[in-house]
Structure 1
Amino acid sequence: MAENVVNSAAEKNIDPQHASNRISIKEKVSYGFGDFGNGFMFDLGQAYLTNFYTDIAGISAAAAAGIFSITKIFDAFMDPLAGSIIDARKPGKRGKFRPVMMISSILLAIMTVITFTMPSGLSPTEKIIYAYATYMAWGILYSFTNVPYGSLASVMTRNVEDRSFMASTRQAGSIGAQLVTGVAFVPIMLMFPSTKIGYAITAAIMAFIGICGFFICYINTKEHIKAENSRSKERETLKDYLRVVFTNRPLWSLILMTLFTISAMNTNNQMMIYFCKYNLGNIGLQPIINFVMMGCSVAGITLIPFLVRRFGKKRTAIGGLLIGVVADGLNFIIPTNIYTFIILVTIGYVALAIPNGITWAFVSDTIDYGHWHTGVRKEGITYAAFNFSRKIAQSIAALVSAGILAATGYVANAHQTSTTLLGIKGAMTIYPAIALLLAAVIITFLYNLPDDKFKRIASDLENGRWENGTFIQG
């Protein structure tokens, strides 16, 4: 039935590219500031919390692996709950998603600082319990911040070029936050006589900047597409939610791909401080390498709109993944050398940043595909299902990072064995190479929503209507 709808739109010579009005450049750029703000809280945990637990709080690497993996799985199940609650919310004066995003981001900032504290006098067991409790609380607030933010893009525009541009601004915001936190965090932290105090104060500075990023997004964006369920006259049931998620093949393809791309990226970020401190012998190299790696990534993702216009979203994503496979694989094979390492890790990170950026446009497309395919529009629950995979990927990254440290005999603030050094290098290079290869295979053979098909779907949604589960062409 759905395929016939696509064909009917094409037969009427509807131009799906103009199925919805274009939004302003200010609004598209401001949307990216949401991920900029998000990065100042999320990326701190991904890049520095493991090191804070092991080297400052005195938690073992094995226990840290458990904290990250278990809490991320807990967080993953929080996303569908957050999505359901947000979907049930009626749009207000400021929209459906933006107010929830803004309020939650302020609470998330406070919780970010708390996660980088460890009360004195706690026993080893009490430290672990405190870490679990604070990081789980952080994860709940993150779900109620990130789910409405991610859902916002789908109600701003359906225009393919606008969504590609927004995907690039969002990825620019994300990488920009990684650049600033990656370059500035350690130097600011080291300004204080106690690294324990330095961690907390630096986290507070970063969290405040994060709130500012979300505020810019909140104040300058609008929800142009009606966010209410297209079958609002009917009572929604659990079956409706399940249909939205489990019959959406493009969504499931993204979920599988994301398990590997995000775990590769997070493993790289988490292990960088260890690689610089122990493999390269100078923790001061960490901000320098991050500056080069992430600075080039910011420049690289500006090419996303051009590459998407030239090759389409799917082929551009596959190309980036394969380049990353080669760069990371070579970085593992070549003996550790600061110059070749920086060059190859930068190429690999830029190559990964491009498909990660395009993923945000993919997600908005899958929300519209689910609406077209089932007659039910659920931005929150669809984005939450996708975000579920990101949380599981983060759990995988924690297991790879802290797990390898524990398995290879890592000892905090000590001279490491050759086995430990090889494990750190492997986590930085060979794991991402394998993960990106699997992601490329998944997107190549499973993702079935190319740009031309989506344009026709967008036209159908603009010009038709759903009645009793059947699409009626307008």
Structure 2
Amino acid sequence: MKKPLSKTLKRFYGVGDFGFCMMTAAELSLFMLFLTDVAKFPLGIVAAITTITGAVDAIISLFSGAIVNMVKPMKWGKIRSWLLICPPIVLMTFIFQFSKIGSDITAAVIVCLGFIISHAAWNLATVANVSLVPMLSSNEDDKIILTSRRGMFNNLAKVFFSYIGPPLAIYLGFALHNEVTGYTILAGLCALLFCIGYFAHFKMTEGYEPTQEEIRKESNGEKVKAKDLIRNFLTNYPLMVIILADTGRTLVNMLMSALAGYYYKYIAEDMGLFPLHLFITACAAVLGAYFAKFIGKKLQAKMSCVILFAGITVFLVLGRVFYQNVPVFMFCLSMVQFCVGGLQALTVVLYSDTIVYGEWKTGKNTASFIMGMIVVPSKISQILKGLIIASALAAAGFVAGAAPTPELQVGIANAYIIFPATGALIASLLILFGFRLNSKKVAEMQQEIDERKCTSAVKTEQIK
């Protein structure tokens, strides 16, 4: 039997995600602006930096789960050890992502190295962090509690950063008479919060995972190999379904973020409302993550995800109907973010269910590898986002700075609403008809796995 969740875990698990999301918010919101307007790199070098770092990060992230799964357990355990050794590497390297040292070429190389090394380390740490959820949980209710807390801290970081981050970078640059240094210090502060938060996760999970010595005694030399990971992935159809469905959620989130500014500039024609929109929708996502634990317990994770995806579709369609009415549109988008916040918590539960299915099917536990697959939808959505936005704006005759035409307004509204709504509807149907696991089936499979292990242990003792 697993150790019950402590009160500390139930209340504060997710503080590490606050620091992590502060870093990601800094990167998403400020990195391009830093390269072009603060560090003043030529556009050719900016394109090279973003292309190289994006490609390398995508490749590295795909292997992060496999590395955590296959590397020999370290002193503090197979998963928790990464929370201790990786964050300091991130702290030492993330700051160089927001720096300009030497000539343009030299500085670009330093920025690329800072980006690649920091992301390699934080990918390993975050895969380990999300892998703690199935490790700590004894049942679906435990998973929902932990993922709901993660979602809350995740979205609280977005609210906090939207009002504190950019002004702090500008203030520090002004006070130190060096605009670049302001951004470097902000990056360092965000990375420091990441280190503190993950250390808190490391401490509050003490005693929940076997140490290196305990694993050595219990494993009898059995190791997970690359062929086990490949076999687990290829035979794990529920994992494939949730990856496709989760792409719908990440696509909704990315398009909402990328096109909100276009809506307020070219449709509402009032950029003063843009910060209010960001604040209200971020708060709605926090509430969605908080209430996910109640919705999930009432309906179970699978049906909760089906309903929340359907809710996204309904509110997006309403937003398209009333897109010229700014208050109604803002309300609809807030409800969309409420659903997204809930999904952010509950889809993790479905990923963790596929761990049990994979072990039941293949006899090998590849938990970290499967939880590492959580990054795949965001990588797919990143590519789709660029294609959708560029195509929709071109089709609508977009010209930067030109007066908005009715055709342009309709084109932006369609890109903002129709594509995400379609993705959410497909995701809802995929989970409803394609994801055939539920809490009862998962519990039965886990019981069968435990019985196999007991039988194997008895046979091993008899041979000895």
Which of 46, 51, 54 pairs up with 2:28? 46
Moved more, 295-304 or 83-92: 83-92
Does structure 2 retain, via aligned residues, the 8 Å contact 1:62–1:406?
A: no
Counterpart amino acid of 1:205?
Answer: L
Q: What letter is aligned with 1:88?
A: M
- How far the C-alpha of 1:97 sits from its partner, in A, is 1.8
Match of 1:97 in 2: 79
2:142 matched residue in structure 1: 162
Structure 1 pair 279/303, CA: closer, same or farther in 2 (3 Å)? same
Q: Is the 8 A contact 2:94 2:191 kept in 1?
A: yes
CA gap 1:212/1:237 in 2 versus in 1, 3 angstroms: closer
Contact persistence 2:57–2:116 (CA under 8 A): yes
Partner of 1:22: 4
Partner of 1:106: 88
Match of 2:278 in 1: 290
Q: Pick from 121, 133, 139: which aligns with 2:119?
A: 139
- Which sections of structure 2, spanning at least 5 residues, go unmatched? none
> C-alpha distance in 1, partners of 2:438/2:332?
31
The Cα offsets for residues 307-351 of structure 1, whole Å up to 9 and x where unpaired, read as 122211111111111111122233234344432232111111111
Which of residues 421, 426, 429 is equivalent to 1:438?
A: 426
1:212 is the counterpart of 2:203: no
Query: CA, structure 1 residues 181+187, in 2 after alignment: closer, same or farther (shift >3 Å)?
Result: same
**Counterpart AA for 1:168:** S
Answer with 40-49 or 442-451: which moved more: 40-49
Does the 8 Å contact 2:9/2:146 carry over to 1? no
- Structure 1 regions of 5+ residues with no counterpart? 1-18
What secondary structure is seen at the aligned counterpart in 2 of 1:329? helix
1:103-160, Cα deviation, whole Å (9 max, x unpaired): 322332444433344568638xx99877665544443233222111121222222322
Q: Shift of the alpha carbon at 1:439?
A: 1.4
Residue 242 of structure 2 corresponds to: 254
Following the alignment from structure 1 to structure 2, what is the Cα–Cα distance between the partners of residues 57 and 398?
24
- Report the more deviating stretch, 130-139 or 212-221: 130-139
Percent of residue pairs identical:
23
- Matched-pair contact (CA < 8 Å) for 2:68–2:368: yes
Superposed CA offset, 1:213-259 (max 9, x none): 22221221236255969975445443212122221122111111122
Counterpart secondary structure, 1:202: helix
Aligned length: 450
Equivalences for residues 51-450 of structure 1 within 5 A: 51-53=33-35, 71-72=53-54, 74-117=56-99, 122=104, 134-191=114-171, 193=174, 198-222=182-206, 224=208, 226=210, 233-234=221-222, 236-273=224-261, 275-276=263-264, 280=268, 285-401=273-389, 414=401, 417-418=404-405, 425-450=413-438
| Greater displacement, 399-408 / 217-226 | 399-408
Asked whether the 8 Å contact 1:253–1:442 carries over to 2, the reply is yes
CA distance in 2, matches of 1:144, 1:153: 15
Deviation at 1:381, TM superposition (A): 1.6
CA distance in 2, matches of 1:128, 1:267: 29
Partners of 2:389 and 2:420 in 1: CA distance: 12
Shift of 1:265: 0.9
Q: Deviations over 1:388-432 (max 9, x none)?
A: 3333333433554577668878777x5565476666554443332
Aligned partners of 1:408, 1:113: CA distance in 2, in Å?
40
The residue matched to 1:429 in structure 2 has which SS?
Answer: helix
Following the alignment from structure 1 to structure 2, what is the Cα–Cα distance between the partners of residues 417 and 282?
12
d(CA) in 1 for partners of 2:271 and 2:75? 49
Other structure's SS at 1:465 match: helix
Letter in 1 for 2:85: I
Higher relative contact order (CA 8 A, sep 6+): 1
- What letter matches 1:209 in structure 2? L
Q: Decide which moves more: 247-256 or 284-293.
A: 284-293
Residues 236, 313 of structure 1: alpha-carbon distance in 2 compared, 3 angstrom cutoff: closer
Report SS of the residue matched to 2:421.
helix
Higher relative helix content: 2
State the partner residue of 1:5. Answer: none
Q: How far does residue 449 in structure 1 lie from its aligned partner after superposition?
A: 1.0
TM-score by length of 2: 0.82
1:427 and 1:361 mapped to 2: Cα distance? 30
Counterpart of 1:16? none
